[in-house]
Structure 1
Amino acid sequence: MTRLWNDPQEFVDEMVEGFVLANQGYVRRVRGGVTRSTASPEPEVSLVIGGGSGHYPAFAGLVGPGLAHGAAMGNLFASPSSTQVESVVRASDRGRGVLLSYGNYAGDVLNFTAAQDAVRADGIDCRTVLVTDDIFSAAPDSRATRRGIAGDLTVFKTAGAAAAAAYDLDDVERVAILTNDRTRSMGVAFTGCTLPGADEPLFSVPEGRMAIGLGIHGEPGIDETDIPSADGLAELFVEHLLADAEIPEGVDPATARVVPILNGLGSVKTEELFVVFRSLVKRLGERGVTLVDPQVGEFCTSFDMAGASLTLLWLDDELERLWTAPADTPAFRRGVVPTGAGVSASDAPSAAAAAAITDLDAEGQRDDAGADVPDSSAESRQTATRIAGLLRLVSDTVSENAAEWGRLDSVAGDGDHGIGMQRGATAALEAAESAERAGAGARTLLTRAAAAWADRAGGTSGALWGVILRSLASELSDETVPSAGDIVVGAVRGRDSVMSVGGAAVGDKTMIDALVPFTEALDAAVSGGASLADAWQDAADAAERGAESTTGLVARLGRAKTHGDRAAGSPDPGAVSFAALARAVANTLKNDTEEES
């Protein structure tokens, strides 16, 4: 049970603030995360890592000389937004290119890729290496689809050391790819983790049982067994990680050199891990494996989960040299690294990068300061006021249902859907109210609300809701009142953009299963001459039917895909939340129409 927090919605912001205050010799805060507060002796390739919070020391604890240059930090178990990632990239770039590296999760891929595209458009050479070390998340012949867990550390460490050794971007990328190819991990858990403010853990394990193959975001395990002894757990780790199909190509275990990382996931004590490691040394030695620089402790946690994972990095000469190279970060230190006294003028972001970061800050601002808005007509401002009212309704609806949506998400996912939706809706409302006070028209108000939702919510749902609202805004005007046809065009554009960006189709057990029937019904009703209020009622009905249809589906995309069978019998939380918001808006439009008549 998580005990120390103030407002659950503010937990991550307050945590980041405290982390930076405690580690000012290593990091400084930038929009979306942290970057180094120290200067490299010479310009080098920048390594930017990141993901959801709740995994300390991953990710911010690994920022410092010899390792990462910046970390983008999302909400608990939720990807940082593309705006947050872009800000950290621009703040960390020193002119020799940027390598992004993070675990292979849908939301992270969506948002980091969008950030990569944005900085590439400005001439920054930016590339990505995904971490895919979890052997239980996909079969050996589908390694590229596996998720990343504690193997993040091996990829980050060797890539960071390569950058510090003045490798160019091609070779830093090559090292990261090679390290990922030679890294394997698996995890087990005895209890699930509990997010701040939640009454129950994201999943539970029966008394006396152990989940095998769990994820680091509170995803339940793939299998379950009786809790073994420490020796039994060591045997289980070795059995799976040294299976023939998991030995990297070209490696002979009998002569191999391996870095073992025995990782505590949050509540298992280091003393317990030492008992397990004692047995691991014996069993790996029996297989002929030589251990190099063993690591026992917490390296990638899952908040307060009681569990452990074992990672093996199969070395070659280059990887061994890079793994053992000096590093100095808040949570991972070895040797002596050369550092500067702080961020120098030459090492600070360029003027263009600083301007770009300022622009990002302005786009997501949450108050009236400097909130210049384009000219607008009185009619459009009236429409903007109605939109702000609808966003207030949306925010209230989200708050009422956040706990239930989180519960649905915990069945086979990571349980953060309710929190993410609440943060996004709250931010969108604040941005809308700020724009309304500044005299914004409909298009400007909804555009700013869309940016705020995507930025504050993070994760997959945050990005997709940002796309939906931005698409609707594109069909509005700051001068005229939109027609029902304009709203339909915006909704269809949003649907198509979500399907393109997220890659989902009807039947994949996602928001799309509610969004597609919603837009089809809305289009058909308006084309048939129905008013927007009546058409929206039909569309909300269709969205609810679509959401209900996901109950019997097996997830094929997102974090739930690893546990698809477990999700059967429970509706998709993204589809359910979309349908609920569609219904709330439908009821309001109906009431407004009745009052006007």
Structure 2
Amino acid sequence: MTYLFNQPSAFASELIEGFVAANADKVRQVPGGVVRSTRSQAGSVAVIVGGGSGHYPAFAGLVGQGLAHGAAMGNLFASPSAQQIYNVARIADNGGGVLLMFGNYAGDVLHFGQACERLRSEGIPCEVLAVTDDISSASVDEIEKRRGVAGDLTVFKVACAAAEAGYDLARVLNVSRHANDRTRSFGVAFSGCTLPGASHPLFEVEKGRMALGLGIHGEPGIKETDVPTADELAEIFVDRLLSELPQGINTVEGQRVAVILNGLGTVKYEELFVVYRRVAQLLDAAKLHVVEPDVGEFVTSFNMAGASLTLMWLDQELETFWCAPANAPAYRKGSVIVAEALSPAECVEQTEETLPQASAESQESAQRVLQLLEAVAQMLQANAEKLGDIDAVAGDGDHGIGMERGVLGAVEKAREVAARGAGAGTLLCRAADAWADKAGGTSGALWGVALTALGTALGDQHQPDAQRVASGVRHAQEGIMHFGKAKVGDKTMVDVLVPFADSLNDAVAQGASLTDAWLTAAQVADSAAQATAQLLPKMGRARPLAEKSLGTPDAGAISLAMIVNTVGNLLNDNATADQGV
């Protein structure tokens, strides 16, 4: 369990504040995460790493000379929003372009991809790289679907050292891809982690048993076995990793490898050293030459009891960058010349937000939209635990928490801009940014896309009517399918959104009022959400555990159905007062 916290909702922000206070000589806090507090070489590539909080030393602990220039940090186990990533990258930019690096999780892919597009649109060269080292999460034939786990460190280290050495963006990207291609990891767990304020772990392993192939966000392993001895665990690790050689490695004999034995939160250093004793023996017997191995905690899963082994198969260039000096709060290697600290004036960031002018009709409609958001927030708060339980069957159980964070952030922002005279479109667009920012994760990104599409369709000059709303929902569907890459049948919210959008647009086209059309479409959404119970997931964290989810509906599909029904009920209540909303 987690012993020391204040408000669970404030845990992530408070840990960042404390981390920066303890490491002010190396990092400073900015909106969305942390950046170096020291001067970087002008014109060099800035490497930004990131993901959810709860993985320390990743990601903030890896910011410093020889390592990352910044880290974007989301809530616990939730990817940072595109806005957070953009903020960190823009502030850390040295003029040589930006490389965004993260583990290969759907929410991170969405948010980092959106941030990359925004940076490029502003003339900042930008590339992205998702680490895919976890051999348990997909086969070699689908290697691009693998998760990023402790191999994050080896790939980050190579990329950052290349940037420090003066490589341009294209060369930094190429050597980072090469490092990723040559990195493999495998992990096990003895018990799941318990987040602050939670009453039970994200998953549980029967006493005396061990889960193989876990994920670092609390995803259950792919199968279980009896807990081995330390030597037996070392043999499992080495056997699994040597059974799959990266392309271009034809024999292990004489190969040089970087090695990380990583504790996931509760397994302590002394235990890790006992395991590494046997790992070293086995690698030596295989005639592998180990280069500067690391044993400790590098990419954790909060307080999960577990460990993982990572190998990066080296060549001369990779070895040079793996051994290059670094000085970050949680990772030091070799000796660096201490960089000059930035002056206080250089650390001040100017932020100013203006709102587009809106008509009186749109401002009035914005109050109605705010009322709808508040009703949705009340419903999601009441159902957060239920949604989490559905998600935990084959995922990490955080869907309810994420939706609650997102909608509360959206409501807070909507109230603020409504009080300043925002129109309905701007209110939804700003609420969308706040939802994505506070929720993180895949659902945060997708709901940000959805509300932005709807807000853009409504605009700030006209009172919303059935046609504009239906068109906005269609654009939301198209945006979510474009960014999320899901299609009908993949067991996602798309299985509800498509039939809902179809039904709504058909009814409006036939002359139905917005309220009647919405209520009809909401019934379709309900049926579609329940039908996802019979589907096997083909996207996201549930995909490796697809069979476990059979018979249980998708959490994102259920929450979408709940939301459209909540909106429909309120529209019905208000229909006589305002037929246009």
Task: Report the TM-score range of the alignment, normalised by the length of the smaller protein.
Answer: over 0.9
The aligned residue for residue 396 of structure 2 is 414
Task: State whether residues 48 and 69 of structure 1, in contact with CA within 8 Å, keep that contact through their aligned partners in structure 2.
Answer: yes
The answer to whether residue 497 in structure 2 is matched with residue 498 in structure 1 is no
1:375 Cα deviation (Å)? 3.5
The aligned residue for residue 52 of structure 1 is 52
Deviations along 1:503-554, whole A, 9 cap, x unmatched?
1111100011111111112122222332222222111111111111111111
The aligned residue for residue 99 of structure 1 is 99
SS of 2:185's partner is strand
Task: State whether residues 42 and 95 of structure 2, in contact with CA within 8 Å, keep that contact through their aligned partners in structure 1.
Answer: no
The aligned residue for residue 367 of structure 1 is none
The aligned residue for residue 326 of structure 1 is 325
Cα RMSD between the aligned structures? 1.9
The aligned residue for residue 141 of structure 1 is 141
Structure 2 CA distance, aligned partners of 1:172 and 1:144? 20
Unaligned runs of 5+ in 1: 363-371
Structure 2 CA distance, aligned partners of 1:431 and 1:149? 34
1:170 Cα deviation (Å)? 2.4
Task: State whether residues 26 and 37 of structure 1, in contact with CA within 8 Å, keep that contact through their aligned partners in structure 2.
Answer: yes
SS of 1:29's partner is strand
Percent identity at matched positions? 54
Unaligned runs of 5+ in 2: none
1:594 Cα deviation (Å)? 5.9
The aligned residue for residue 280 of structure 1 is 279
1:596 Cα deviation (Å)? 7.6
The aligned residue for residue 470 of structure 2 is 488
SS of 1:280's partner is helix
Q: Which amino acid aligns with 1:314?
A: W
Change (3 A) 1:466 1:596: closer
The aligned residue for residue 38 of structure 2 is 38
The answer to whether residue 452 in structure 2 is matched with residue 470 in structure 1 is yes
1:476 Cα deviation (Å)? 1.7
Q: 2:561 aligns with which of 555, 575, 579?
A: 579
Q: Which amino acid aligns with 1:284?
A: L
Structure 1 CA distance, aligned partners of 2:562 and 2:37? 45
Structure 1 CA distance, aligned partners of 2:41 and 2:95? 14
Q: Which amino acid aligns with 1:544?
A: D
The aligned residue for residue 65 of structure 1 is 65
Give me the TM-score of the superposition, normalised by structure 1.
0.94
The answer to whether residue 306 in structure 2 is matched with residue 307 in structure 1 is yes
The alignment of Structure 1 onto Structure 2 pairs a total of residues equal to 579
Q: Which amino acid aligns with 2:454?
A: L
Task: State whether residues 9 and 419 of structure 1, in contact with CA within 8 Å, keep that contact through their aligned partners in structure 2.
Answer: no
SS of 1:108's partner is helix
Change (3 A) 1:474 1:247: closer
1:116 Cα deviation (Å)? 0.9
Deviations along 1:363-405, whole A, 9 cap, x unmatched?
xxxxxxxxx5344333322211111111110111111111221
Deviations along 1:192-229, whole A, 9 cap, x unmatched?
11122211111111121111011101111112111111
1:58 Cα deviation (Å)? 0.4
Structure 2 CA distance, aligned partners of 1:435 and 1:412? 38
Deviations along 1:464-491, whole A, 9 cap, x unmatched?
1111111111222433212111111111
Structure 2 CA distance, aligned partners of 1:42 and 1:476? 44
The answer to whether residue 361 in structure 2 is matched with residue 379 in structure 1 is yes
SS of 2:204's partner is coil
The aligned residue for residue 452 of structure 1 is 434
Q: Which amino acid aligns with 1:305?
A: M
The aligned residue for residue 85 of structure 1 is 85
Structure 2 CA distance, aligned partners of 1:596 and 1:499? 32
Of 63-72 and 440-449, deviating more is 440-449
The answer to whether residue 9 in structure 2 is matched with residue 6 in structure 1 is no
SS of 1:559's partner is coil
Task: State whether residues 181 and 246 of structure 2, in contact with CA within 8 Å, keep that contact through their aligned partners in structure 1.
Answer: no
Task: State whether residues 46 and 96 of structure 1, in contact with CA within 8 Å, keep that contact through their aligned partners in structure 2.
Answer: yes
Task: State whether residues 39 and 339 of structure 1, in contact with CA within 8 Å, keep that contact through their aligned partners in structure 2.
Answer: no
The aligned residue for residue 519 of structure 2 is 537
Structure 1 CA distance, aligned partners of 2:483 and 2:293? 41
Structure 2 CA distance, aligned partners of 1:455 and 1:542? 30
Deviations along 1:30-83, whole A, 9 cap, x unmatched?
111111001135542211111111100000000000011111111111111111
Aligned 1:57-456 pairs, distance under 5 A: 57-243=57-243, 245-343=244-342, 358=351, 362=353, 372-456=354-438
SS of 2:542's partner is helix
Q: 2:552 aligns with which of 543, 551, 570?
A: 570
SS of 2:276's partner is helix
SS of 1:189's partner is strand
Of 27-36 and 118-127, deviating more is 118-127
Change (3 A) 1:589 1:158: same
Q: Which amino acid aligns with 1:145?
A: K
Structure 2 CA distance, aligned partners of 1:313 and 1:324? 13
Of 477-486 and 253-262, deviating more is 477-486
Q: Which amino acid aligns with 1:539?
A: A
Change (3 A) 1:251 1:88: farther
Task: State whether residues 212 and 221 of structure 2, in contact with CA within 8 Å, keep that contact through their aligned partners in structure 1.
Answer: yes
Task: State whether residues 496 and 557 of structure 2, in contact with CA within 8 Å, keep that contact through their aligned partners in structure 1.
Answer: yes
Structure 1 CA distance, aligned partners of 2:56 and 2:115? 23
SS of 1:254's partner is coil
The answer to whether residue 498 in structure 2 is matched with residue 516 in structure 1 is yes
Structure 2 CA distance, aligned partners of 1:523 and 1:316? 57
Structure 1 CA distance, aligned partners of 2:484 and 2:173? 26
